[in-house]
Every structure is written in structure tokens, then in C-alpha cells.
């Protein structure tokens, strides 16, 4: 039924969830899975808003091939540069893709990860059948304020701080926990991605 299945990936939990579904379908139908990573001109999110960067192309594609080996599924990987929805559409047309499997996230608003920001554009512009796999909040890595605080303290220690306290409750600004801490007398803010556990300490430590 499906000879070639395309799963765009950025290494985020949403794309990992889509990968799992794509590989299960491929195993059932004997399909080849095409894992596509699109380098976008706006992928440096640390520079844009201080948030954690998604995994690199090597890391994201390795996640697909590792799982594919366990399913005994053939995988072809590719890295392209350009507008994600345009490259996904072009790749599907050029490689006779029978099905595109896309990940998304269990929230509203503008998603700062590749798949969450372009899924709707792909659906609107491609002729290839498309399956959208939603990420349930139960799949998030960081689910509680306590976990966010622990990760933030660890991140601050890696920055060289030793005397760290958190006097106010963290709050969640989807998809992030925002933790404000006192670190060696400095007021610091740490972003904790609730899907991956990645952290980002804002600003530089004073010498």
C-alpha cells in the first residue's frame, strides 16, 4: 500500500512520535522510510529568543536510523536547505512518496520547533496523503515545577555558580518552564524545555 513513506524530522519529541508511527507502518507494509531533515535559515533560536536549539541533522537522523534497525526497516536519509514546507513538498514529489507522516505538539500557538511550525503549511500545499501524529502532553519529559527547578540548578552549577536558591515558583510558558533563581547573588532566569529537558541560562555570568 505504501512503498515510500516520508517522515520529516527535527529530533524533537513531536517528530520522534511521528517517526515511531512511520516505522510501524513501514514494518507492516514493507515500505522504505525516507527521513528528511530541513535546515532552515531561522534555526538559530538561541540567537533569536534565547531558547534551546533543536538537535543537529546528524543527531535527529541518527534517532530515526537507530529505531529503524530495531524494526528491520530500510531508511534513506537526506538533509536539505530551504523553507521546510517547500523542501518537504519537493522531496515528496521527486521521490514518489506515498505517505508523509508529520509530528505536531499538544498545544496551540506558534511552535518554535520545525514540525510544529510547518505542519499546517505542508497539509495545505502537498498532494501526497499526509498523516499528522499529535504529541500528547503525557510524553513531555519535564512535567513538574520541581523537575524544572532541579534542571535549572544543575544548569547554573555548570555555569560555575555555587550558592543557588529559587524563592519563587516557576511558571510554564508553553513549551517552556521559566525558572528565576538567585545564583551567587545574581538574579538569573533559566528556560527549561518541557519536551526535551534542554536548558538555557539567560545572560552571561559576571566575572
Give the tens place of pLDDT for each residue, 40-65: 765 443 333 344 456 789 999 999 99
Number of domains making up the chain: 2
pLDDT at 4 over 90: yes
CA 113, 44, 192, 78: dihedral to nearest 10 degrees? 50
77 and 96 both lie in a single domain: yes
Q: Is the residue at 206 inside a domain?
A: no
For 52, list phi and psi in degrees, rounded to 5.
-65, 140
Which of residues 139, 165, 184 is at a domain's end? 139
pLDDT band for position 83 (50/70/90)? Answer: confident
CB 155 within 8 A of CB 201: yes
58 and 106 both lie in a single domain: yes
110 and 12 both lie in a single domain: yes
Detail the DSSP E strand segments found in the chain. Answer: 4-8, 32-39, 75-81, 99-104, 130-134, 164-165, 171-173, 176-183, 186-193, 199-201
For 176, list phi and psi in degrees, rounded to 5.
-125, 150
pLDDT at 15 over 90: no
Q: Is the residue at 88 inside a domain?
A: yes
pLDDT at 100 over 90: yes
120 and 61 both lie in a single domain: yes
- Contact partners, residue 72, CB within 8 Å, separation at least 6: 27
pLDDT for res 179: 87
Q: Which domain holds residue 75?
A: 4-139
pTM score above 0.75 = no
pLDDT at 200 over 90: no
Amino acid at each position: 500500500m505504501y512503498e515510500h513513506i516520508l517522515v520529516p524530522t527535527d529530533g524533537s519529541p513531536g517528530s520522534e512520535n511521528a517517526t515511531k508511527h512511520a516505522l510501524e507502518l513501514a514494518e507492516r507494509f514493507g515500505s522504505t522510510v525516507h527521513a528528511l531533515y530541513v535546515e532552515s535559515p531561522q534555526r538559530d533560536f538561541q540567537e533569536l529568543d534565547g531558547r534551546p536549539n533543536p538537535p543537529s541533522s546528524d543527531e535527529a537522523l541518527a534517532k530515526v536510523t537507530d529505531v529503524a534497525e530495531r524494526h528491520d526497516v530500510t531508511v534513506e536519509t537526506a538533509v536539505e536547505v530551504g523553507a521546510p514546507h517547500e523542501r518537504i513538498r519537493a522531496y515528496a514529489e521527486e521521490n514518489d512518496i506515498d505517505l508523509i507522516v508529520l509530528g505536531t505538539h499538544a498545544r496551540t500557538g506558534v511552535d518554535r520547533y520545525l514540525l510544529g511550525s510547518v505542519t499546517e503549511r505542508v497539509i495545505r500545499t502537498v498532494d501526497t496523503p499526509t498523516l499528522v501524529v499529535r504529541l500528547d502532553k503525557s510524553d513531555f519529559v519535564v512535567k513538574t515545577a520541581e523537575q524544572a527547578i532541579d534542571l535549572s540548578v544543575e544548569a547554573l552549577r555548570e555555569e560555575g555558580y555555587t550558592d543557588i536558591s529559587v524563592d519563587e515558583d516557576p511558571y510554564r510558558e508553553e513549551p517552556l518552564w521559566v525558572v528565576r533563581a538567585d545564583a551567587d547573588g545574581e538574579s538569573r532566569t533559566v528556560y527549561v524545555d518541557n519536551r526535551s529537558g534542554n536548558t538555557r541560562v539567560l545572560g552571561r555570568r559576571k566575572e
